[in-house]
Structure 1
Amino acid sequence: MSFLFLRPLLSLIASCIRRRSGHLIGIFTAAMLASPDATLAAEPPMAGMPRLSTVAAPAQAPAFPSDTASAQTPSVADTPTTARIRERGRILLGYRQSAVPFSYVDANDQPMGLAWALCERIVTSLRQEMAMPELRITPVRVIEQMRGPLVKGDAIDIDCAPSTVTASRGQ
């Protein structure tokens, strides 16, 4: 079964996130999806993320008409979050211990899961964009009720756990 239909869907979701907020996750999710070297089948799967398809992804994801004119991805250096990351030399990734299959810990108490693997790919893109190959990942265990305050208070840079969209979170 091919999951190639997910690429344009994720691109649309990322563009919606970019329009509503300047959050780091929306910007870098879009950058990761647009990267030409991101293939689904040619790369070995990352820890915690299964191979999605046996068919290689198309060279370029189809653009939606509304995306082409207004969805220019801002430079990484334009955000306060990236300035903090550059100053620290590390990125703080929040994860939940038991949100299987999105965010959980393995037998060695190391974070893994689908959301964690996505965050690792975002960090890989950040290393290239920011020209910081030595950028380290610091995992931060969070509980569900504290994720929002930790992001707002700059205690974590990205929340690598599942979240539902609610009206209050949209504001």
Structure 2
Amino acid sequence: MDRGSYFEHDGRPAVRFERTYQHSAERVWAAITEPGELAHWFPSAVRMEQRAGGTIEFTDDPNTGPTSGTVLTFEPPRRLAYTWGGDELHFELEPTGDDSCTLTLINVLETSDTAARNAAGWTVCLAELGKHFSDEVADGPHSSTAVPWRPLYDDYVAQGMPSGAPVPGEAGHGSVNTDG
């Protein structure tokens, strides 16, 4: 399974993922912006005002309560960014052929100790997106058919990715965190 990497993004801690899909940028754009598509792989239900400066709302995540953020960038079908709590999510799409596209996901972190936790969560989420694009059952990162989160987290920690943030489902928190 493709791993995420830890780095600094404009002086802030971040994790980065890159995946190439055999789909057009427009198709991948739909997967990262349309609520019905996001339901297959994203850790929360999402409602977004599709414009820079718009509001984005996150609900139905078993690990967090409802929250909202701000759309920072909305440039179909290439760039999308928004705030989520103290984090930012940046999506960039680069066509690599007529029917293929590379998705880069950068999760700019509020604190570095969330890196391993979030990297494991995004690895689960992106595995679900890959299943969705392959026409396999993709019931989302919280489903029983999703890749298990804990071994991924343990691997990221063993590889030296910053860790230590609370993990929902442990030490008095909610269920195991699969969000990014």
Rg: which structure is higher? 1
Structure having the larger proportion of residues in strand: 2
Normalised TM-score (structure 1): 0.33
